[in-house]
Structure 1
Amino acid sequence: MTHTTVAAYAAQSPKAPLERVTIPRRALGEHDILIDIKYAGICHSDIHQARSEWGEAIFPMVPGHEIAGLVAEVGPGVTRYAVGDRVGVGCFVDSCRGCDNCTAGLQQYCTGEQGATLTYNDTDAAGRPTYGGYSTHLVVDEKYALSIPEAIPLDAAAPLLCAGITLYSPLVHWQAGPGKKVAVIGLGGLGHLGVKIAHAMGAEVTVLSQSLRKREAGLKFGADHYYATSHPATFEQLTGTFDLILNTVSANLDLNAYLGLLRTGGTLVQLGVPENPVSVEPFALIPARKSLAGSMIGGLPETQEMLDFCAEHGILTEIEVIGADQINEAYERVVASDVRYRFVIDTATI
């Protein structure tokens, strides 16, 4: 391998601005590939972790788990990829490989001693800190890389590795499709992909957003209906309507009110992580056999399935490509919900 140290952008401490640094990358192992990263998406969880808002974190931190690039070098035992292949890496770069979830292709729910090894803000099996995609190169086991179809440009592909799979997985699990009414709460980086994917699956799709300012965009993405949740009449009008509601926002919402929008046997899936615990009244669930569930990204087989599905249906992330020197400004804009709909870093600028 030619690269042992690479350029990256890192936060040196909680709430510190990200700055250009040099980080180590491990030497290529038997089954490793070296990825020349072309684009890295900015996920809201990058900001939470760089600011240590989700508990203890490892610094210096190089965020980024929406990674798209080209294979630059392969280890001697690699069979899946060749130099020049288009590949992506999502939220994890390893797992125990032996637990029930790993063997079932649900590596994101790994129950091994360490759980899945996160792409950043974690330590690998050798005890080394993991550094994410805000960098020029990444070394990863070939099994934990995904193949990006030619139909998807690399810049638009990057956010699919977290935002795309985060929505695809629950839509598949709760069987969104023809005859099903699906609501998506929030039309941000996650929500806009949820609308596109649910529409492509054949579901009747409704956006529930605080205001109507993104209504035109929501309908363009495939929503059949668009309602403002700031209007009290919305909750009266939509009582008992939906088979499935996907909550993509990180704010603390009144989940009891949203549970009221479910049909008998319907499910509200929590995808965003609010700052404070949520409370649910038992009687918001019991009388109509409703469920409150959670879902987290997807395993390797399902993530590949999602990429292929998006390629087949022409689903692309709506992105704003930025230079590395705009990362800190982008963080502030994400927090202020001032992005349509995902920032993607052009890593050539690092």
Structure 2
Amino acid sequence: MMTLPGIALFYAGMVRRKSVLNTMACVVAMCSLVSLLWFAAGYSWAFTPGSGFIGSSERMWFTGLDYMKEAGKVSVSHIAPNVPESVYAMFQLTFAIITVVLVVGSFVERMRFSAVLWFTGLWTLFVYSPVAHWVWEPGGWLAQMGALDFAGGSVVHINAGISGLVCAYFLGPRRGYGREPFEPYNLGLTMAGAGLLWVGWFGFNAGSAVASDGRAGLAMAVTHIAASAGAISWMLGEWIVRGRPSLLGLCSGLVAGLVAITPASGFVTPGPALVIGLVAGVSCYWGATGLKRLLRADDSLDVFGVHGIGGIVGCLLTGVFASKTVSGVEGSIIVQAMSAGVVLIYSLFATAIILWVTMMITGLRVDEQSEQTGLDIAQHRERLGA
């Protein structure tokens, strides 16, 4: 859960002062709503045997997640038999939360709070849960094809990245985008958030081993190496192109490295992790600058540039570097490319449909006056202190 204050601070530091509290409020509300939906249906649809496309209703409302002390009975998941299923369900909840929360960065400063809630609920149930089932449930159709995704390169980052890009197109650019400077509120908050994300990521990647063993330890090590390489790689790219490094670039680069190592963390050794981080840093720098200009989208905090591109890089390089000595499986770049493409295309169209439905229900964008005033006042009647 450390990644949640991490992403709240990371994003809040980059938006303008007048929408800092709204950005944080979105993170808290989304976390709470996703938690309830995960309890109601999301976990069951994602992580129970059903068809290759969706799980069953077996664990809706956490039915069957029992613990009976006197009988010594505790339910376990067929996916993670070494821990109680309640622990596994809560661990997977953190992935469900962070995935949709990442999308916030694409629509900051202009989306109605009510629309954020509708989008969060529909997206969690009809985008995240099915994709998680395809990739992480052993009977899922992409898992059956041999797709490798240890901790969320496609399920989390490609999924969130392309959804963020669709959101940016649907809502349109912030008023004044490209014509006036958008000064970030406090990059010190962004740096603090990046630090929390860095630590929290060890839980995602090492925790995905669902055991305290050598594979978990190696996953933690390669995660740190890739994050460090991503930060240095982005910094050097920015230094060459712009003539100077920046704190924001370093923070963005380390997140890019974390994103790219996510699918590979349980399958690679330290050497390939270094390569993955270096490639991710420069690729995501291009994604957040050159590609962003080509796409002409106000993806405000570079959700697609960092998470979409980083997720794609990580998924493909997992196919190149996955080591049989680490995990007992070898990667296929063809299967990895197919898996990444399927998730990207499904998420693109499903997100567009969900945004259209949300627009019909409550509208998507705040009015011009609210945007000029700032969403802290317009949506919450709250003001950031001095």
**Per the shorter chain, which TM-score range?**
under 0.3
Where relative contact order (Cα < 8 A, 6+ residues apart) is larger, the structure is 2
* TM-score, length-scaled by structure 2: 0.23
Higher strand share: 1
